[in-house]
Amino acid sequence: MPYLQQHPHAVHPYLVWGKWTPPYGAALAMTRADLSAVWGLGLIVLWTALLGAAMVALERRPARARVATSGKLQWAAVTNASAPSLAPKRHPDRPVAALLFAQ
């Protein structure tokens, strides 16, 4: 048996919180013909305004400059240091694919 059917008292906190969400406002706006529909539309407008204000606040924050530190390049292994010498040599008038798949 599902948990919420066994414990109906556990549903109340979810219903209290859920009444402030956009899906609840949309459901009110679609299914009611009284002032509840206006409350639902107002809830959707409130969420849209709050999320828009949050986006504007995030966009106005200054960008962080990420600068790579200059230092001596160290290879992690001998194979990393020798990899460029193992690469196929590029001929000036032939593309690399032609060199790799030459017959």
Backbone angles phi, psi at 72, to 5 degrees: -75, 135
Where are the chain's structural domains?
Answer: 3-60
- Note the pLDDT tens digit of each residue in 7-47: 888 888 888 888 899 999 999 999 999 998 999 999 999 99
Q: What is the pLDDT of residue 96?
A: 59
- Note the pLDDT tens digit of each residue in 71-92: 666 666 666 666 666 666 665 6
0.85 exceeded by pTM: no
SS3 assignment, position 82: helix
Residue 102 has pLDDT above 70, yes or no: no
